[in-house]
Amino acid sequence: MADKFKIIIAANSSKSSNNSSSSFISKVAIVKLEFNLVLDLNPIHSDWYIYLTQAGLNDSSVVNLGPSPLELAKVNIDVPEMALDSSFQFITNITIKTRDGTRTAKVAECRGADSTYLTSEGKKRDEVKEPGPVKRKKRDVNEADVNRRNSQLFCDTAKCRQIECDIVTIAPNDGVRIDLELKIDAKILEKLKLPADIIDFTTEARAAILNTPIDIQPVDHKPDSTRVITSFDTGRTSPQEIPGWVIPVSIILGILLLLIVAAVFYKVGFFQRSDREALLQAQEDDSTDTAGSPENTNAFSSHNNLIDTEYDYLSKYKAPNLNKLAENGVKSTDGMIPSFPTVTFCNHQTLVTGLFPESHGIVYNRMYDPVFNESFAYGNDSKWYSAAEPIWITAKQSGLKTGVSFWPGSTVNYNDVKNDFTEGFERNQNFSKRVDTAIDWLTKKNLNFVAVYFEQPDGEGHAFGPESVQVGNMVEIMDNIVGDIFTAKIFDKINIIVTSDHGMSAINLTEPNALVLTKHLDQNDYELVSQFGAVGAVLPKKGKEDKVFNDLNNKHPHVKIYHKKDIPERLHYQHNRRIMPIIAIAEEHYFVSYNGSEFKNDTVKGIHGYDNNLVNMRALFIASGPSFKRNVELASFNNVDVYSLMCHLLEITPKPSNGSLASLKSILMSVSIVVKPPFYLVSVMSVSFQFSPPESNSYKNKL
């Protein structure tokens, strides 16, 4: 197949560096990006957000041009010749991402073939006669990228010419994002003899280093690629007009994966012995461990999080896709109430089982089981999950096809019942690959349920704080990645739920804000401390429960100590053997420390895990699709109810749970949609966003 759409980014070094110690990327002379456009069946109007990925850089959504100043001289773009008329608009923005802020520069002008000049507003000027049609070199294209239903190659169907756009100079350490907006009138498609009501633009971007000042490239250099699906501005067909056979139940759960820093939550691993010396030594060794191995199934990663929920990410930062989704569906204006403790693994499991942590057994990100005589740390051993069955297993047993990517617990074996497709955690996999996987499962594998999560912008919040430029940039990137899935051709035929697992609160890891356990406890009185952070847990030796309680009680004015049996019932945190006999619950902005090692870590800006009544712990909830009403504001509700909602949409019988559909019935259309095979998908995606209520709401919740 031939190239359909090509962008060449020429990055010419304006100030070459002679410093031999500078990175390889800083010496790049020319970077080429090929951008292939496929015509597919779906609506016409499209806005593209093209994220250029620098060759050799993992998990990056912008081109990082390195420490040496580089000048992006031009962008060459092939477009259909017949598009160069009044019905065609081509608008290009170069967004420069810097350490200190973001600046956007519009492209001054784009010169087209045959005396056609396009300004950044899409207007034409006739000045200089340009060369004729561009001769494009043919190359093979991966069938998997283009073999979608009735797809057509744009530049094979329409004669294409090349447009050259002048752009801007890039400063050291800047990133680049190019936003291209293309609007094509239906008349063009009539000329192509294609049905105008079912056109979809799908793209693949590929970046590679073409030329460098040195003779050879690093041995680990590999071209990187990303796939982008355009967003559409098309009205949604009413549910009654959508044939049942094409309506998948697509549940996109935007789950905020919060990666916990070992400075606050030590890495205990799996203990095989219960003797105090071994346990305490492991705690000492792990309390300063700040890195997790992606190959280690007992740990995902480690970074603590600060996201101050004083502001709503969706209103503070650029998030058009999610805001549009909310406007066309349902949003909880008061936020969804997570389960206690408000940490990642507990609430991921709650969302897919409908059970409180005390019922499903994942009572913290790290925990100890006295029967197993082992400790759990972000693990996937099936014995820790055996108390509850997640929705994808129930769906699978009901005859549906399921796929789960990056979801905590997704690789757990439930009595040899497995997903049709599963992708476990892989630290270096970029977001575009996850999107590709979800779209592939959706369009080619005919899955009924797909669960995917992304851990950003949560990670940037951990590292830089909620007010940081980095968080704002990542919100925009994640919003457009969400848009990549939202704008697939079945967008208006799927039900989408976007939510997060909990919120965040600011923290200053200093001694005045901490209850340091070892400062008050006699090491001969306890076996181990199984968790730290917003919630601490201590296993006293037999007969020492009261002494340990008294040694900790009233030692910090902002940390409450409980016997397990006295924990408030509303927290649903009593009835599980993995909940330790002595529990310490910190008030917001305070924390529980094992030995004070956290005080040396000045990179941690916030934690979560606090009382789920706190507004800063509340989660985002948006739902849209044929089964949901439009433009509806929803009061707060418990996240255990999401499971019942998903089972209702999938038309499967839910397992017993702590939630119900009662609180969410009002958001559903009164006319039910009968979903019949063949299904396309039920998709679940995970995005990191947090809820923040309007400033007019005054919440005074405290522990």
Q: Are strands 421-423 and 402-405 parallel, antiparallel or unpaired?
A: parallel
Non-local CB neighbours of 353 within 8 Å, separated by 6+ positions: 360, 388, 389, 390, 391, 643, 655, 657
C-alpha distances (whole Å) from 7 to each of 113, 191, 226, 603, 669 are 16, 25, 14, 39, 44
Q: Which residues pair with 90 in a beta bridge?
A: 182
Residue 344 appears among annotated catalytic residues: yes
Rounded to 5 degrees, what angle do the CA atoms 543, 549, 552 make?
Answer: 140
Distance from CA of residue 35 to its chain's centroid? 24
Structure tokens at 368: 């100890």
**Distance from C-alpha of 664 to C-alpha of 640, rounded to nearest angstrom:** 11
Residue 244's closest CA among 678, 680, 673? Answer: 673
Structure tokens at 133: 């049609």
173: left (phi over 0), alpha (psi -120 to 50) or beta: left
Rounded to 5 degrees, what angle do the CA atoms 662, 664, 668 make?
Answer: 115
Structure tokens at 216: 């050879």
Would you call 21 helix, strand, or coil by DSSP?
A: coil
Position 129: which residue type? K
Q: Please identify which of the residues 202, 212, 344, 402 carries the catalytic annotation.
A: 344
Residue 641's closest CA among 628, 653, 659, 627? Answer: 659
Position 148: which residue type? R
Distance from CA of residue 295 to its chain's centroid? 21
Q: Are the C-beta atoms of 358 and 637 separated by less than 8 Å?
A: no
Residue 368's closest CA among 277, 266, 261? Answer: 266
Structure tokens at 130: 């340009």
DSSP secondary structure string for all residues of 540-574: EPTT-HHHHHHHHTTSSTTEEEEEGGGS-GGG--S
Residue 225's closest CA among 418, 351, 50? Answer: 50
HEC profile of 403-437: EEECCCCCCCCECCECCCEEECCCCCCCHHHHHHH
**Distance from C-alpha of 382 to C-alpha of 398, rounded to nearest angstrom:** 21
Q: Are the C-beta atoms of 601 and 302 separated by less than 8 Å?
A: no
Q: Which residues pair with 152 in a beta bridge?
A: 39
Structure tokens at 195: 């049905």
Q: Which helix (H) or strand (E) holds 94?
A: strand 88-97
Residue 9's closest CA among 210, 158, 200? Answer: 210
Rounded to 5 degrees, what angle do the CA atoms 606, 609, 610 make?
Answer: 95
Non-local CB neighbours of 315 within 8 Å, separated by 6+ positions: 323
Beta-strand ranges (E) seen in 138-229 are 152-153, 160-166, 169-170, 175-184, 200-211, 224-229
Structure tokens at 536: 């601490």
Whether a cis peptide bond, with omega within 30° of 0, leads into 172 is no
Packing angle of the helix pair 344-353, 641-650 (nearest 10 deg): 40
Q: Are strands 582-586 and 535-540 parallel, antiparallel or unpaired?
A: antiparallel
Give me the active site residues, please: 344
